[in-house]
Amino acid sequence: MDRFKVEVVAQTPNPQQTIYAAMHQDYAEGFVWHERDRWPDETECGDIVIKHLLKGGRGHYGPLEHPQIVLNCGWFPHSTMQQIRTHRVGVSFDVQSFRYTGSRIIDVAAGRQAVEEVFYLRPLGLYSDRQGKRYEYTKAQRQEDLEWCLTACRRYQERIQQGFSEEHARGLIPFDVRQHWVLSANVRSLMHLLDLRWKTDAQLEAQKLCEHIWPHFKGWVPAIANWYEENRLKKARLAP
Ligand SMILES: Cc1cc2nc3c(=O)[nH]c(=O)nc-3n(C[C@H](O)[C@H](O)[C@H](O)COP(=O)(O)OP(=O)(O)OC[C@H]3O[C@@H](n4cnc5c(N)ncnc54)[C@H](O)[C@@H]3O)c2cc1C
């Protein structure tokens, strides 16, 4: 759907072994690093950590806080960034602020970029409001909204030409301008974010972000992703 994109910038290379080592140090008499040649392999470590930390609601999540993944999220609407940025425990962000950038808004005004490359509008279709009342977003309405975005870009361009700073002129553009950001999280904090933002009543675009994050998470910590899929995914099991 749409232009949304999530790519991996970096990730802990042996995450399940890392979790295993942290868990093992909880009860090992010795210094676990000395035993590193005897640690089970990445796949076996995945099975061991599920059995001893997560299975049956054990809830021993601490060791899952060590491996980190760094993701580049792109072309999401500003509202999605706002929602995701509310997660602050074990998650860190660097987000485009539009204080230093804005040339793509001028590019839209000048016809060098498509409006939809820079602004997000929902697809055509049937929606419902928070009270369950249904309505349709029609082709004609969407076209009007595209023109609204274009008009705002022209005003932005005019103000920049008059000497305004980007920080000042950004207040004139529509709310759901597309934004890119870098997010880092650990295995535990990323699962918590998925708990809250992949629920069926979460905002549509936040759910789409989770869909784009998921293959990276699954490829990185497959045993934990399988456990998550069976026990938590979209089940609205919320943290206290
Ligand atoms: C459906 C939905 C609607 C929402 N609507 C709004 C809204 O209208 N306006 C708005 O501002 N926000 C809104 N939020 C954001 C929400 O209030 C949380 O800020 C957000 O979901 C972050 O999750 P978290 O608190 O679990 O934080 P995380 O940073 O993900 O924290 C992880 C966990 O750490 C613990 N923790 C974190 N911070 C604290 C703390 N300060 N004190 C004690 N324990 C802490 C909690 O157990 C928490 O669950 C909404 C969220 C959802 C899912």
Nearest atom, ligand 1, residue 90 CA: 29
Confidence of residue 2 (pLDDT cuts 50, 70, 90): confident
Nearest atom, ligand 1, residue 192 CA: 30
Residue range 15-62, pLDDT digits in tens: 999 999 999 999 999 999 999 999 999 999 999 999 999 998 888 999
Confidence of residue 138 (pLDDT cuts 50, 70, 90): very high
| Distance (Å, whole) CA 199 – CA 237 | 9
Residue range 153-196, pLDDT digits in tens: 999 999 999 999 999 999 999 999 999 999 999 999 999 999 99
What DSSP element (H or E) covers 72?
A: strand 68-77
| Distance (Å, whole) CA 126 – CA 2 | 17
Cβ–ligand 1 contact at 170 (below 6 Å): no
- In sequence order, the β-bridge partners of residue 119 are 177
Q: Which residues have C-beta within 8 Å of that of residue 201, sequence separation ≥ 6?
A: 236
Q: pLDDT > 70: what percent of the chain?
A: 99
Going by C-alpha positions, the residue among 68, 78, 95 that lies closest to residue 10 is 68
| Domain at 5-93+178-231: CATH code | 3.30.1360.170
Cβ–ligand 1 contact at 192 (below 6 Å): yes
Answer positive or negative: Cα dihedral of 116, 118, 119, 123: positive
pTM: 0.94
Please give the single-letter amino acid code of residue 88. Answer: R
The predicted structure's pLDDT at residue 53: 95
| Distance (Å, whole) CA 107 – CA 157 | 9
Q: Hey, how many other C-beta atoms are within 10 angstroms of the C-beta on 189?
A: 21
The predicted structure's pLDDT at residue 239: 63
Going by C-alpha positions, the residue among 180, 238, 236 that lies closest to residue 209 is 180
Nearest atom, ligand 1, residue 88 CA: 29
Whether residue 75 has pLDDT greater than 90: yes
Average pLDDT (103-131) is: 96
Q: Tell me how far the alpha carbon of residue 83 lies from the centroid of ligand 1, in angstroms.
A: 9
Q: What are phi and psi of 173, to 5 degrees?
A: -90, 155
* Beta strands at 134-137 and 178-186: parallel, antiparallel or unpaired: unpaired
Cβ–ligand 1 contact at 196 (below 6 Å): yes
Going by C-alpha positions, the residue among 182, 209, 205, 179 that lies closest to residue 194 is 209
Domain boundaries, the chain: 5-93+178-231, 116-172
Query: Mean pLDDT lowest for which of 27-31, 56-60, 83-87, 236-240?
Result: 236-240
Q: Which of 130, 187, 195, 196 to mutate to test the pocket of ligand 1 (most atoms within 8 A of CB)?
A: 196
Cβ–ligand 1 contact at 30 (below 6 Å): no
Residue range 211-227, pLDDT digits in tens: 999 999 999 999 999 99
User: With the CA atoms of 80, 71, 233 and 19 taken in that order, what torsion angle do they form, in degrees rounded to the nearest 10?
Assistant: -140
Q: What is the edge-to-edge ordering of all strands in the sheet holding 5-11?
A: 5-11, 68-77, 178-186, 91-95
Cβ–ligand 1 contact at 238 (below 6 Å): no
Going by C-alpha positions, the residue among 185, 195, 233, 222 that lies closest to residue 50 is 222
Whether residue 237 has pLDDT greater than 80: no
Helices 222-231 and 204-220, interaxial angle, to 10°?
140
Please give the single-letter amino acid code of residue 214. Answer: W
